[in-house]
């Protein structure tokens, strides 16, 4: 059984539909990428799965149970966490308070201290800035905080919306190397990225979205094939699905 199984998902804002055909399968511990141009519906897709965007039709099953239409605060408790685009940390709160908020979505509160320790172990910079106001962190540190904050609830599936946004290349490398570590710890990950090559090199599969639809699925090998990637990305040539 897949950890996450989504079929024919449609979602949007008010009367404006943005996502017309979202589908994805994620196995436990798998890292799946989603790429596509601006406005392709990637963030809406993640939002619909996390419960922050209302799906209008389709099917979302997490561990075999339908979660479509559930509230975000309930979905995170099931083990599906989203780090939204632009990091969305609480800049007025301290680093520690941000992390403590991440504990809200835990099912069992007993492992809280251990989870906090593990998250700061992955991102040592956070423990040195513990009592600092989160808004004073650098962009890369803020992204690390956002990921750590989602990890302390020990999700089974972590979804990241453009973690590289606004970060310098070296910082991006740091963030992405941590993704590998998180995956090794057994957490499945979905990463939405504009930088297709970056994500395709670490993901087992990468979905290409365009105009609100998942148009193609690329493997790691496909990343080396520029024409195949360009075709899927820009819609030149025929789609692979």
Partner 1 sequence: MIQTILDALSYGGLYGLAALGIGLVFGVMRLVNFAHGELIAIGAYLFIITVDLGLPISILIAVTGTAILALLMELSVFKRLRLAGPSVLLIASFGVSIFLQRLYEIIFGALPLSGQIAPWMSGVIEFGNTTITRGSILTIVLALALLAGMRFLIENTTLGLQIRAASSDFQTARLLGVRSNYVIGAAFVFSGVLAAAVAFVLVTQRGSVDPLFGVNITILALVGTVIGGLGSLQGAALGGFAVGMTISLLNSFLGNYRVYTYTWLFILVIIVLLIKPSGLISNKAFKERA
CB of 130 closer than 8 Å to CB of 93: no
CB of 201 closer than 8 Å to CB of 208: no
Least Cβ distance, residue 220 to partner 1 (angstroms): 30
Q: H or E element: which one contains 228?
A: helix 226-234
Give me the phi and psi of 178, to 5 degrees please: -70, -35
Of 97, 118, 174, 211, the residue at the interface with partner 1 (CB under 8 A) is 97
Of 23, 77, 195, 220, the residue at the interface with partner 1 (CB under 8 A) is 77
Does 34 sit near partner 1 (CB under 8 A)? no
Stretch that binds partner 1, among 101-109, 171-179, 180-188, 208-216 (CB under 8 A): 101-109
* Count of residues interacting with partner 1 (CB under 8 A): 26
Does 82 sit near partner 1 (CB under 8 A)? yes
Stretch that binds partner 1, among 19-27, 69-77, 171-179, 232-240 (CB under 8 A): 69-77
Least Cβ distance, residue 171 to partner 1 (angstroms): 22
Residue 62 corresponds to which tokens in the numbers above?
């997490």
Least Cβ distance, residue 77 to partner 1 (angstroms): 6
Residues 163-222 touching partner 1, rule: CB under 8 A, are none
Burial of 160 (0-12, 13-18, 19+ CB in 10 A): buried
Q: Are strands 16-26 and 4-13 parallel, antiparallel or unpaired?
A: antiparallel
When the beta carbons of 69 and 169 are compared against partner 1, the nearer one is 69
Question: Rounded to an integer, what distance in angstroms lies between the CA atom of residue 13 and that of residue 44?
Answer: 9
Among 170, 148, 181, 150, CA closest to 31: 181
Of 84, 140, 163, 212, the residue at the interface with partner 1 (CB under 8 A) is 84
Of 56, 59, 93, 125, the residue at the interface with partner 1 (CB under 8 A) is 93
**Alpha-helical regions (H) of 94-168:** 95-102, 112-122, 124-128, 139-151
Least Cβ distance, residue 237 to partner 1 (angstroms): 37
The number of beta carbons lying within 10 Å of the beta carbon of residue 37 is: 14
Question: Under the rule (CB under 8 A), what is the footprint of partner 1?
Answer: 50-52, 71-73, 76-77, 81-82, 84, 88, 90-93, 97, 100-102, 104-106, 149-150, 153
């Amino acid at each position: 059984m897949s950890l996450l199984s989504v079929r024919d998902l449609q979602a949007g804002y008010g009367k404006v539909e943005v996502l017309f055909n979202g589908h994805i399968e994620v196995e436990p511990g798998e890292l799946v990428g989603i790429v596509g141009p601006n406005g392709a519906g990637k963030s809406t897709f993640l939002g619909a799965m996390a419960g922050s965007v209302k799906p209008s039709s389709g099917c979302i099953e997490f561990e075999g149970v339908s979660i479509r239409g559930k509230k975000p605060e309930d979905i995170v408790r099931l083990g599906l966490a989203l780090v939204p685009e632009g990091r969305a940390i609480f800049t007025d709160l301290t680093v520690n308070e941000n992390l403590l908020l991440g504990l809200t979505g835990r099912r069992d509160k007993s492992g809280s201290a251990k989870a906090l320790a593990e998250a700061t172990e992955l991102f040592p910079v956070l423990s040195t800035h513990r009592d600092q106001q989160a808004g004073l962190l650098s962009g890369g540190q803020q992204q690390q905080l956002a990921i750590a904050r989602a990890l302390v609830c020990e999700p089974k599936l972590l979804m990241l919306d453009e973690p590289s946004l606004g970060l310098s290349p070296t910082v991006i490398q740091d963030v992405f190397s941590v993704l590998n570590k998180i995956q090794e710890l057994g957490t499945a990950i979905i990463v939405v990225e504009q930088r297709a090559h970056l994500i395709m090199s670490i993901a087992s599969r990468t979905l290409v979205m365009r105009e609100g639809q998942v148009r193609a699925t690329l493997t790691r090998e496909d990343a080396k094939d520029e024409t195949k990637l360009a075709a899927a990305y820009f819609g030149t040539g025929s789609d692979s699905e």
